Amino acid sequence: MSDRILVFYGSYRSDRMGIRLAMHIVDALRARGDDAELIDARAVALPMLDRMYKEYPAGTAPAAMETLAGKIRAADGFLFVVGEYNWSVQPGLKNLTDHYLEEWAWRPAAIASYSAGRIAGARAGLAWHGILPEMGMAVVPRTLTVGSIGDALDADGRATGAGGAALTHAFPRFADDLRWWTAAARAQRSLSSQG
């Protein structure tokens, strides 16, 4: 069964490298038959958090916020492509996620981290492991890490070199785990709606 997966990415930098991983993941999910869509926090351009989506009277939220709320509610699962800023999370992605709460509920979230160095964004991935469940998501235990991202993926998101080969090798199992969790969550949401 095809899953509707939203792939979130949050860097606002002009020379951002993580977009390569986000594009690669969207393409790889689509190649597996999933309906994957990139949600780029910079392109969505939500304001700094003042009011959450749920705090707006019905029909009065900004258009971009309303559109994204609908996409989140319609998704089977989420995949967060996270970079590390000073041992922590990207502020752009954190700001986007904080605009929503109930919309995330009872869906799995997978984490793919990256960095320019060998740590591969692992500290940011660890931070997101605590943040996402607080918003109601079940975090998939298996993670994907990409170090030296400039060498592992070219500007179009194609795998290159040893790092790209490692990513290509690791991705199927990572995606299989996300698919298992989307099926399990879908079954549970179905049971909840019946009872």
The pLDDT tens digits for 6-27 are 999 999 999 999 999 999 999 9
On the question of pLDDT at 32 being above 70, the answer is yes
Please give the pLDDT value at position 87: 86
- The residue among 193 and 112 whose pLDDT is bigger is 112
- The residue behind tokens 């999933």 is 34
Percent of the chain's residues with pLDDT above 70: 99
On the question of pLDDT at 146 being above 90, the answer is yes
For residue 150, give both structure tokens.
Answer: 């400039």
Q: CATH number of the domain at 4-194, out of 1.20.1090.10, 3.40.50.720, 3.40.50.300, 3.40.50.360? A: 3.40.50.360
Cα separation, 53 vs 66, whole angstroms: 8
Question: What is the identity of the amino acid at 140?
Answer: V
Q: Do the beta carbons of residue 82 and residue 119 sit within 8 Å?
A: no
Alpha helices in the chain (DSSP H): 18-31, 41-44, 63-74, 91-98, 122-134, 149-152, 161-194
What's this model's pTM, rounded to 2 decimal places? 0.96
Distances (CA, A) of 74 to 15, 37, 54, 77, 135: 32, 12, 16, 9, 16
Cα separation, 191 vs 194, whole angstroms: 5
On the question of pLDDT at 192 being above 80, the answer is no
Task: Find the distance separating the first CA and the last CA of the chain, reported in whole Å.
Answer: 24
Q: How confident is the model over 47-63, as a mean pLDDT?
A: 97
On the question of pLDDT at 5 being above 70, the answer is yes
Please give the pLDDT value at position 195: 58
On the question of pLDDT at 100 being above 90, the answer is yes
Cα separation, 94 vs 131, whole angstroms: 9
Q: What average pLDDT does the structure give for the chain?
A: 95
Please give the pLDDT value at position 190: 86
Going 24 to 89 to 16 to 114, the CA torsion angle's sign is: negative
Please give the pLDDT value at position 85: 86
Q: How confident is the model over 70-97, as a mean pLDDT?
A: 95
For residue 113, give both structure tokens.
Answer: 């981290």
DSSP classification of residue 135: T
Cα separation, 58 vs 195, whole angstroms: 27
Q: How confident is the model over 97-102, as a mean pLDDT?
A: 98
Q: How far is CA 72 from the centre of its chain?
A: 11
Please give the pLDDT value at position 38: 98
Q: How confident is the model over 171-195, as a mean pLDDT?
A: 91
